[in-house]
Amino acid sequence: MQDLFPIPSCFSSGEKLHDDPTSAVATRSGQGAALLIYRTRIAGHCRLITVTWCKNLLAHGLSVLVEGSDKDDEHKGNGSSVDVDNNNSSSSKHQNSCKVEMRPWNFWRKHGSKRFLVEGKPVDVFWDLRSAKFSDEPEPQSDYYVAVVSDGEVVLLLGDLKEEAFRRTGSRPSLIEAILVSKKEHVFGKKRFSARAKFHEKGKFHDISIECNGSSSSTTGSMDSEMVMKVDRHVAIHVRHLQWKFRGNESISINKQRVQVYWDVHDWLFTPGLRHALFIFKPESLPSSSTSSSSYNSFAGTNANGGESSGFCLFLYAWKLE
């Protein structure tokens, strides 16, 4: 399968972020936002489901967008969506959308369902966030579920309340599990930035922290910056003289898996006001398992060497506050 996220030899954090809905959400009052894209089978075709979580001081929000066909795109926008967030305005981009407030005093809004059509076939989204536990991240940590149902199968299931989700939807598990294609997250901080991610479907979550410090040279009087990236509290990358090495890449090992890390911190150092750095984490291919089924390999993709290609990328936008 063709790589969805080829990394250019030179990239810039100054890319056009206004086309990214999570960026618009993130830059409003310093809201955190995370956008996750999954690939699964809906209405007889392989499609993408975009799940967006956001938060501010008052509430958290959830948006689910199901990709439609080319014909749907021409007449209905990019797909069908259901939104559960803290904004009462409705989206004009997508038909069959639903805006639901999820403020602390609107308890019942945290539990519901929505049905829409994709190529004339019904697709249902069920969610229960009434007891969801949140930390500093936009995504809940436990006690919740979000389920997408198509053709009597749960094609995407998020959260730990799986039995309750299957009972409420009355649907069976899909024969093919959804594949996480990419995650785009916006975090805010002054010197230290944190995120959690896993780099393979069967892997565990890893804690990522990035710290940027600057000191004044006693000889030249100029600022000398450095950046330290840690994974699970272990130093993975240490860049000295960051003002000269504000763009770069390095291969690191995370739980015996090689991950290419790209960074662009130019705006941190040379742009005034609210600015962000861009970090990209791209896992290298894993050897294919002998127990993997042909249907899974066909769905997830294999590389030319017979290895299983995760196809996953983590895009981390770290917004530096004064």
The H-or-E segment that residue 179 falls in is: strand 179-189
Each residue of 76-107: pLDDT tens digit?
444 555 666 544 333 333 433 444 445 555 55
Going by C-alpha positions, the residue among 7, 20, 1 that lies closest to residue 264 is: 7
Q: Domain-by-domain residue ranges, the chain?
A: 31-181, 190-320
Distance CA 237, CA 250 (A): 8
| pLDDT in the model for residue 204 | 86
Each residue of 185-225: pLDDT tens digit?
999 988 999 998 888 777 788 999 999 987 554 444 567 89
SS3 content of the chain, % helix, strand, coil (to 5): 15, 50, 40
Residue 303: is its pLDDT beyond 50? no
Distance CA 205, CA 135 (A): 15
Per-residue tokens: 63? 């948006």
pTM: 0.77
Q: How far apart are the first and last CA of the chain?
A: 43
**pLDDT band at residue 55 under the 50/70/90 scheme:** confident
Distance CA 242, CA 13 (A): 15
| pLDDT in the model for residue 227 | 95
β-pairing verdict for 172-173 and 153-159: parallel
* Pair 36, 28: CB distance under 8 Å: no
Distance CA 277, CA 261 (A): 13
